[in-house]
Structure 1
Amino acid sequence: MSAHPSHHLIYGVLNDYLTGEELTDTDDERLRQDISRMMVLEKGFEKEELLPRLYIETLFARCYVRSTIELTVRIGGKDIMILRYGPGSLVSRERAAIAAARVLNPDYQIPLAVVTNGKDAELLDTSTGKILGYGLHSIPDRVTAGNMLDHLEFLPPRQGQPREREMRILNAFDVERCCV
């Protein structure tokens, strides 16, 4: 019996599409792998341009949370976009994705964020919080992303209270209460 009971069905293990790393095989992980394949096979990104499973750790009110960013898109040495996966409603995931994009990189705020449930998606401008597009087709392909690079605004990193506010948002939105 597992030390941590879970509501996730575990089918065994699978190999990560991007890295070959062995991962726990769940329905959610299969959808994450589908997203990675889509980014390479349909959107035209190189595997090396997609950084899987970067994370941000927060601790507030004795509540430790590790927020995972499913994919970070890096072109020409610049992180331009993050993708966050979660089952169900996208609107409930927008704010945490924006917070993650604003604090993940220590040198600048990542300008774009995508929230997806594997079937639908929203593309977000992280400086304004506005939705730039709806649907998986709204995720920029490699050519479009490369063309956007000169026009994206890489704002300075958040510091002090603004950074703490984003970290608190991540902590509150990403805490897992269902599996404890």
Structure 2
Amino acid sequence: MGGHHLVLGETEDFITGDIVEDSHDERYRQKLARLLVTDRGFAKNEIIPRNRLALNAGENIGVIRVDFRVELSGRIGMILKYAPGSLVTRHRPALAISRLMAPYQIPVVVVTNGEDADVLDGTSCKQTGSGFGAIPSRDELVAIMANADFSPVPEKRAALESRIAYCYEIDGACPCDTNICRL
């Protein structure tokens, strides 16, 4: 059994077909995966689940999981980060993560607690929508990406964003959270 989560057995991952630990959090992730495919029109091979991301803050290093990234034409156009609790407290670390998952600013950032979702513009940091229906469809994401600036994130900015994400995601995590790893 991992961490403080109630393990309900095992379940099949909707995207990959892999067998994963079943928990309340995983059920929300699977619900989100199904929504991306059945309601928003993405192909399963465009959605990459359980992404590991290394973060550092000075000498402190850790690894977190980013629940989903959506890739179209070889670029990440959207990331989705699940965590229970308040959505507004998830905005800043998710925006920081969107500057670290690729060498460019990822255009669309979605934060969800499984019951609701906020959609953020990665560049302006503004909330562009609320609710699962606001998550861009495949066609909408294609249009967003066509107008996105995929310029590299400056190295200094990436280092600062890594510190921000580290503080929220690792320093602020429950000591028994098995989705993060302190190195």
TM-score, normalized by length of structure 1? 0.90
Partner of 2:133: 137
Partner of 1:30: 27
Identify unmatched segments of 5+ residues in structure 2: 178-183
CA distance in structure 1 between the aligned counterparts of 2:58 and 2:6, rounded to whole angstroms = 31
Cα RMSD between the aligned structures? 1.6
Matched ranges for 1:4-153 at <5 A: 6-60=3-57, 63-106=60-103, 108-153=104-149
Partner of 1:165: 160
* 1:17-60 CA distance string (max 9 Å, x none): 10111211110011001100000011110001101111211243
Contact residue 107 and residue 123 of structure 2 kept, 8 A: yes
TM-score, normalized by length of structure 2? 0.89
Contact residue 87 and residue 117 of structure 2 kept, 8 A: yes
Residue 81 of structure 1 aligns with an amino acid whose one-letter code is M
CA distance in structure 2 between the aligned counterparts of 1:113 and 1:94, rounded to whole angstroms = 9
Tell me the matched-pair count. 175
CA distance in structure 2 between the aligned counterparts of 1:86 and 1:156, rounded to whole angstroms = 28
* 1:61-101 CA distance string (max 9 Å, x none): 66442221111111111111100001111000001110111
CA distance in structure 2 between the aligned counterparts of 1:61 and 1:80, rounded to whole angstroms = 29
Residue aligned with 1:11, SS? strand
**1:148–1:62 distance in 2 versus 1, CA, 3 Å:** closer
Identify the range of structure 1 (141-150 vs 23-32) with the bigger mean alpha-carbon deviation: 141-150
CA distance in structure 2 between the aligned counterparts of 1:17 and 1:89, rounded to whole angstroms = 26
Identity percentage of aligned residues? 36
Displacement of 1:158: 2.8
Give the ranges of 4+ consecutive aligned residues of structure 1 lying more than 6 Å apart after TM superposition.
none
Contact residue 107 and residue 144 of structure 2 kept, 8 A: no
Residue 105 of structure 1 aligns with an amino acid whose one-letter code is A
